[in-house]
Amino acid sequence: MKIILKNARVINPIQKLDSKLDLLIEDGVIQKIGEISEKVVKDSQIFDFENKICVPGLFDMHVHLREPGREDEETIDTGSNSAAAGGFTGVACMPNTSPDIDSAEIVKFIKEKSKKNLVDVFPVAAATLNRKGEALSPMAELYEAGAIAFSDDGSVIKNAGILRRVLEYSKMFDVPVIEHCEDETLSDGAMNEGLVSTILGMPSIPNVAEDLIVARDILMAEFTDARIHIAHISTKGAVELIRQAKKRGVKVTAEVTPHHFTLTDDSLKLFDTNYKMSPPLRTTSDIQAILEGLKDGTIDCIASDHAPHAIEEKEMEFVFAPNGIVGLETTLGISISELVHKKILTLNQLIEKLSINPRKILNLPIPEIKEGSEVNLTIIDTDLIWTVDVTKLKSKSKNSPFDKRLLTGKSISVINKRQMYFEDNYIRI
């Protein structure tokens, strides 16, 4: 099938491309780019994307798809639908499933299951067996099966000696080790440690719990000359540590979630468990530092940390409720509203953080928008005003603190692997 995308502003920072162009797509390949008259091309379906932008497909490098193990919360399919609805053509899924992604079989299972879907799914495999931090996972085998990075996400690799071996071993494949930075001896709490936790009498987690491990991991990456990626940073201390490390050439990269640059611990006052996450929501001064870090490139990318949880697990006494929120369908809207419209980042910078940089970190090819390239695109309306409604999420789970929030900016369509997601439907192209 032939489709023509008309009148979109086509942007690709790596090609230094930014102009109003039409795209003719046939059999999943960009056949022609420029001004295309529908009269010339017969039997084509036209999509008028006037006032929309067309960018290389967005990529979320931190999601939890829950399959295998907790298919009641999310599956590879529902998670992929959620990603497509949120504007992503690719995701990296974390290994804290049940069983963990620590065997080649599970990596292959995920690859196989997601093959038919529009959204590419790249498994991040466990860095240690059972994510226990005690012995190396079969990293070579996992890499060969298709794992693109290693992480014990959900837990930190406690033991620096084990971390050293993980980093050294991962160097053979030039893939990053993704760390969930939290010193567990300091993080036995349910929210950020600050004035709000004092008022609420809530067991709390100080910033230093994160800063300590970020500092340790930077030193370990420097020592081993390996690549470390700091997941979901939440503290101003972490931003500064990474900034300094990058200056002296340490191979460190970092991501931040939309909730960590928009919400503070003040939101906890109603004891709504949709505000409970790990790392916890911090304070306005942390947000300020994170925004600075996004601006100056200290923070490479934005990732959702999409963490679906069953209703009965979140509807619980605060201290007992699990951490995390769903984010695939709100990440782009929040990022455009809070970063682009508030002039923290330019549109180009945002595309780098949501599409280019995560792929660079994971050694994945960056989609090009040129004749002959396979199509991998996201079409965005940066001015569309919409209200988040959790009941309408494609994700199986509804645990979001952004319910009822008004956002500006939304994905209109994604195209990848000969499929197009448009107006809630998949179209074969």
Report the interface residues with another protein, using CB under 8 A.
Answer: 190, 193-195, 197-204, 206, 270-271, 312, 315-320
Residue 83's SS3 state is helix
DSSP state of 176: P
305 labelled catalytic: yes
Q: Give 243's contacts (C-beta < 8 A, 6+ positions apart).
A: 293, 296, 298
Smallest gap from residue 269 Cβ to another protein (A)? 9
| Residue among 264 and 355 whose Cβ is closer to another protein | 264
Return the HEC string of 357-426. Answer: HHHHHCCCCCCCCCCCCECEEEEEEEEEEEECCHHHCCCCCCCCCCCCCEEEEEEEEEEECCEEEECCEE
| Residue among 312 and 423 whose Cβ is closer to another protein | 312
Smallest gap from residue 200 Cβ to another protein (A)? 6
| Residue among 243 and 314 whose Cβ is closer to another protein | 314
CA distances, 125 to each of 205, 228, 414 (Å): 27, 15, 27
> Residues 387, 405: contact at Cβ < 8 Å?
yes
| Residue among 59 and 275 whose Cβ is closer to another protein | 275
| Residue among 173 and 318 whose Cβ is closer to another protein | 318
Catalytic residue among 102, 217, 300, 305: 305
The per-residue DSSP string of 138-169 comes to: -HHHHHHHT--EEE-TTS----HHHHHHHHHH
> Residues 375, 30: contact at Cβ < 8 Å?
yes
Smallest gap from residue 3 Cβ to another protein (A)? 48
The phi-psi region of residue 6 (left if phi > 0; otherwise alpha if psi is between -120 and 50; otherwise beta) is beta
Determine the distance from the C-alpha atom of residue 220 to the mean position of all C-alpha atoms in its chain, rounded to a whole number: 24
Smallest gap from residue 197 Cβ to another protein (A)? 7
- At residue 250, φ and ψ (nearest 5 deg) are -65, 145
Smallest gap from residue 159 Cβ to another protein (A)? 22
| Residue among 123 and 206 whose Cβ is closer to another protein | 206
Smallest gap from residue 201 Cβ to another protein (A)? 3
| Residue among 27 and 188 whose Cβ is closer to another protein | 188
The CA-based diameter of the chain, rounded to the nearest angstrom, is 70
Orientation angle between helical segments 207-224 and 236-247, nearest 10 degrees: 20
Smallest gap from residue 274 Cβ to another protein (A)? 12
Structure tokens at 396: 């199986």
Catalytic residues, by residue number, are 305
